[in-house]
Structure 1
């Protein structure tokens, strides 16, 4: 993936994306917790995709923003469709493109007829930005081929520092429609708990193949542990992450910030 050179005449959406690219892709990081957390989420997401999808599979990347997952997957040999509401980001993604097949489809993905088109649909850090995560997941499920897969990542609602409401406790989610689809953590509406994800998956007619709870407070630099990240070797951070991931589920639900899930459409041809 190419690294673009910052230009003063870039569009605002390009300028706001570029600092995240420096953190996420190009290794320029003053915020080590963010970089560790992103790299950890990317690792688990790619592992789950590669576990179920052959290199020529068709993948839809929903709300793909600056296209980092899109481009990485294209470089791995997948046929990837980039989608985002912000059409002006397409040319920014193309600046970074280096190899692989990418299709660009801007706009509201639910206005397009993509029923049964994809082997994998990727929804990373998206579902917590929508007012109706139940309807969202049902709509995404329709885009899968029989036995296709969704790879979902979202902040873990059970994390001990989470103070956002549970979706299942909200009597009228429509009250949040006016603020949905906002980027970054300021746009989070609900942070889903594990039992809620299981319920939403069942309602969408999907099955859970695997769920991983990952990224502890040290890895993420929370509760002032970011100071330790400046002095600890990377191997120590990774070993501690492995240790907390091996804990019983009740502990992992409290200690980990991120849920990564592999879901399957069980409909047979």
Structure 2
């Protein structure tokens, strides 16, 4: 994708998006945890999609913001539909577009009448922002072609430093409807645990094909470890990440910060 330069006359949402692009794709500060954690999540997410979908497959990127996954997937040969509530970001994404097929579908994803249209739906760091993750996942599943896949990434609720509640422990999620859809970590409502993702998936007629627990506190710069990121070579950080990813599941559930799940729809599911 093209690298763009900051313009003072941009609207506020473009300026805000550009600050994230500086970290996510332009590597303006590769000594901070945000860069490492995003780069790690993007790598694993794209690899999962490439496992289950060949170039030419139709992909929906939900709440795609500044479109970095959208554009990366288009450049890999997929036919990608960008979606976000902020319609004004379309022209920002178009500035970065270099090649590949991208369609734009702004607005509330559940009013756009996407029914069984996509081979893959990507919901990256979205489900923790909604008051009813069960209904959300059930509705997203209806947008898949038979045998289609959802790639879901979300903060790991089992991480030892997590202070947010489990969705399954909340008797009335509707109390959070007024604050849902807010961006960034301030908008997190629930952080899902592995058993909750499995339960929600089954409710939606989906099966978990693969689950990854990634990004340790060093990679993310948590617990003041961001000071070490300024000193350590990138190769050392990556080696540490590989080591923690190879630990037993019980350890990873407590140590790793991000969950990525590949969910598959049964071909017999209507």
- Pairwise TM-score range, normalised by the shorter structure: over 0.9
State whether structure 2 residue 241 is matched by structure 1 residue 266.
no
What's the counterpart of residue 184 of structure 1?
A: 184
Q: Answer yes or no: is the 8 Å Cα contact 2:30–2:36 preserved in 1.
A: no
* Residues 30 and 75 (structure 1), Cα distance of their counterparts in 2 relative to 1, 3 Å cut: closer
RMSD: 0.9
Distance in 2, matches of 1:266 and 1:144, equals 10
What's the counterpart of residue 238 of structure 1?
A: 238
What's the counterpart of residue 25 of structure 2?
A: 25
Gaps of at least 5 residues in structure 2 are none
What's the counterpart of residue 77 of structure 1?
A: 77
What's the counterpart of residue 255 of structure 1?
A: 255
What's the counterpart of residue 100 of structure 2?
A: 100
Distance in 1, matches of 2:247 and 2:207, equals 24
What's the counterpart of residue 67 of structure 1?
A: 67
**Divergent runs of 4+, >4 A:** none
Secondary structure (helix, strand or coil) at the match of 1:232 reads: coil
Secondary structure (helix, strand or coil) at the match of 2:145 reads: strand
Report the CA distance between 1:30 and its aligned residue. 6.3
Using the size of structure 2 for normalisation, the TM-score is 0.98
What's the counterpart of residue 125 of structure 1?
A: 125
Deviations 1:161-220 (A, max 9, x none): 100010000000000000000000000000001111010001100000000000000100
Distance in 2, matches of 1:114 and 1:104, equals 13
Gaps of at least 5 residues in structure 1 are none
Distance in 1, matches of 2:202 and 2:17, equals 35
What's the counterpart of residue 206 of structure 1?
A: 206
Instruction: Give the total of aligned pairs.
Output: 269
Report the CA distance between 1:31 and its aligned residue. 5.5
Using the size of structure 1 for normalisation, the TM-score is 0.99
Report the CA distance between 1:233 and its aligned residue. 1.2
Secondary structure (helix, strand or coil) at the match of 2:201 reads: helix
